[in-house]
Amino acid sequence: MTSEKLAGLNLNSLRGFEVIDKIKFLLEEECPITVSCADILAMAARDAVELRGGPRWEVLLGRKDSLESSFEVFIDNFKQQDLDIEDLVTLLVIMYLNLAVLICPVEGRDNKFAPLDFQTTKRFDNHYFTNILKEGLVRAYASNEKLFFASFAKSMIKMGNINVLTGSEGEIRRNCRFVNA
């Protein structure tokens, strides 16, 4: 089974997992099998957005890590939830926080990534939407950062509550890269 990190479109595009691994390692040293990788990722996403000037939202803790992981499971979970096109547009900003993979190699550079927002590449804001002005919701987000922040936080909470595993439904992994043996 292919994990999210190794799936075709994500291959080598998702970064920062070494930080998650380090956090998990330190937590396991102090309090083994207590904090799940799912909770660490949820808090790290929230804190990364806030550190870049974005909104803060409440993260409910107590998730378990899944015993399986695939793109198909992700799509099925998304469809089964109360997530709509507004949530999808709002959550596209996650792409803004990462870097887009360029197809053509760039000589003289140490990587093949470019920011999606050229105005404020290191800040969480609504310029991503300003740059791709379209109709409706995208236009509303581009003209109203407060609306965008509120919608983003609401959508992140909804997405964070998709099929939360608790009790015996999952596990707390010792290492976020592997299911416990």
For the chain, the domains span 1-81+162-181, 82-160
Confirm whether residue 90 is marked as ligand binding: no
- Per-residue pLDDT band for 31 (boundaries 50, 70, 90) equals very high
Give the 3-state secondary structure of residue 68: coil
**Directed axis angle between helix 145-160 and helix 37-51, to 10°?**
170
The verdict on whether residue 4 carries a ligand-binding annotation is yes
Q: Which amino acid is at 83?
A: L
Each residue's pLDDT tens digit, 109-163: 455 555 656 677 777 777 777 766 656 777 888 899 999 999 999 989 988 888 8
Is position 76 annotated in a ligand binding site?
no
Using the predicted structure, report yes or no on whether residue 10 has a pLDDT greater than 60: no
Tens of pLDDT, residue by residue over 77-87, are 667 777 766 77
Given a contact cutoff of 8 angstroms between Cβ atoms, the answer to whether 26 and 136 are in contact is no
Among 1.10.520.10, 3.40.640.10, 3.40.50.10470, 3.40.50.300, what is the CATH number of 1-81+162-181?
1.10.520.10
Biggest distance spanned by C-alpha atoms of the chain:
51
**Rounded distance between C-alpha atoms, residue 162 and residue 155, angstroms:** 11
Tell me the C-alpha distance between 177 and 169, whole Å: 19
